[in-house]
Amino acid sequence: MNKNTKIYLSPPNIDHSEIENVVQALKSGWISPFGSYTIDFTNKLSKYFKKNILLTNSGTSSIHLALKVTEIKEGDYVLCSNFTFAATAFPILYEKAIPVFIGSEKETWNMSPEFLHSAIEDLNRKGIKPKVLIIAHIYGMPAQLDKIIDICKDNNIIIIEDAAEALGSFYYNKPLGSMGNYGIISFNGNKIITTSQGGALILPNKKSYIYAEKLAFQAKEKVDYYKHNELGYNYSTSNILAALGSAQFDKLEKKVKRRRLIFDYYLSNLEKRFTIDYQKELNHSFSNRWLSSFIFPTSLNKKIKSLLDKNNIESRFLWNPLNNHKVFKNFSYYGDSFFENRLFKNGLCLPSGDNLNDEDLNKIITIIDKNI
């Protein structure tokens, strides 16, 4: 990269094949949701996840559709990760359901099976039976899904995996997003594979696919005139965006490899200087290391961030736990807020794009070394 070029947190990596595909899509005249690239990208994802795939216009709309498919109703309870982006939980409120936030464990920073278990026990004591659980795999790190799945099976709870950040991550050799009843992926601008905006809903069978597809296309009934029996949404994507996604998907393995190397590089260098903490890859877990994220000793993250800002290098604080936000403040939380606030207050995500070269990485570490 040029000496003065800004280094971004997780920029898109667009090459000849993406450009070629998009040009072909435009030339084909199929720029609506229908076209050969929509079929092609869907097929690639179906093969990868071994499930039914519906391409959508975002990760958020995919979560919303997943909730609609579970037939969630106003007043139903939905257990939800607390340390995540607000988009994980917003669709619960779209449906006027009631979120219950579950805190993180220290190893993976994802939903703690212990907190989940005690939350369900407490809710049951109050006569409440949660219907759905939404679990996010933060920064690409797998949650302890085996334990979570067992708890949910025992309690008849439907699982939606929010794998928005976790394409290319595995748990027991299965791609994240494929182990819950439903899963979602995001292809927004900073994700490991991007279609600028976009997402995918991962579904277990044809029946749920057909229903989700209908809702995503304005709930048009399958007759030769306009007929709508229920509320619909415009959540579909386009052949142009699918063309971009299809080309990006072919490079997924390479992208994951590079992001993991970037994480290892930061870790080995930062560990020499500071007492840091980071997400642990537990047995049977494989993370795409979407964003290299570290916890630093008190206030060092702020110093590093402003130093990097001055040097035209983007970094970002970690998620602000959902129970801290005004929009979610009236809902219950079970967890260790001290730990999650430590992630928020002392954490920092460093540039992690797979197109960062060794020179960029060296520059980032040298700036930190020389000035802190």
Ligand X SMILES: Cc1ncc(COP(=O)(O)O)c(C=O)c1O
Residues that bind ligand X (CB under 6 A): 58-60, 84-85, 87-88, 136, 162, 164-165, 186, 188, 199
Q: Which string of DSSP letters, residue by residue, matches 185-249?
A: EE--TTSSS--SS-EEEEESSHHHHHHHHHHHBTT--SSSS---SS---B----HHHHHHHHHHH
Cβ of residue 351: shortest distance to ligand X, in angstroms? Answer: 17
Q: At what angle do helices 36-49 and 239-249 cross, to 10 degrees?
A: 40
* Residue 224 beta carbon to ligand X: minimum distance, rounded to whole angstroms: 33
- Nearest distance from residue 88's CB to ligand X, in Å? 5
Closer to ligand X by Cβ: residue 130 or 199: 199
Nearer to ligand X, 199 or 363 (CB): 199
Sheet holding 77-81, edge to edge: 52-56, 199-203, 182-186, 158-162, 132-136, 77-81, 98-102, 333-334
Residues 218, 57: Cα–Cα separation, whole Å:
13
32 phi and psi angles, rounded to 5 deg: -80, -170
Is 143 or 365 the residue whose CB approaches ligand X more closely? 143
Check the CA dihedral 341-345-346-348 and report its sign. positive
How many C-beta neighbours within 10 Å does residue 54 have? 27
Nearer to ligand X, 137 or 260 (CB): 137
Minimum gap (Å) between residue 150 Cβ and ligand X: 23
Closest CB to ligand X among residues 56, 155: 56
Closer to ligand X by CB, 136 or 192: give it: 136
| Cβ closest to ligand X, residue 87 vs residue 202 | 87
**CA distance linking residue 56 with residue 223, whole number of Å:** 23
The nearest distance, CB 139 to ligand X, in angstroms, is 9
Least separation, in Å, of the C-beta of 199 and ligand X?
Answer: 5
Q: In the complex, what is the shortest distance from the CB of residue 122 to ligand X, in angstroms, rounded to a whole number?
A: 26
Query: Minimal CB distance to ligand X: which residue?
Result: 59
- In angstroms, rounded to a whole number, what is the distance separating the alpha carbons of residues 43 and 187? 16
Q: How far is CA 316 from the centre of its chain?
A: 16
Least separation in angstroms between CB 314 and ligand X: 16
Rounded-to-integer distance, Cα 32 and Cα 337, Å: 45
User: Which CB atom, from 28 or from 190, has the smaller least distance to ligand X?
Assistant: 190
DSSP notation for 23-49: HHHHHHT--SS-SHHHHHHHHHHHHHH
- How many alpha carbons lie under 13 Å from residue 301 in its C-beta half-sphere? 21
- Tell me how far apart the alpha carbons of residues 110 and 149 are, in angstroms, rounded to a whole number: 14
Distance in Å, CB of 222 to ligand X, minimum: 28
Residues β-bridged to residue 102: 81, 334
Measured distance between the N- and C-terminal CA atoms of the chain, rounded to whole angstroms: 24
Nearest to ligand X of 64, 363 (CB atom): 64
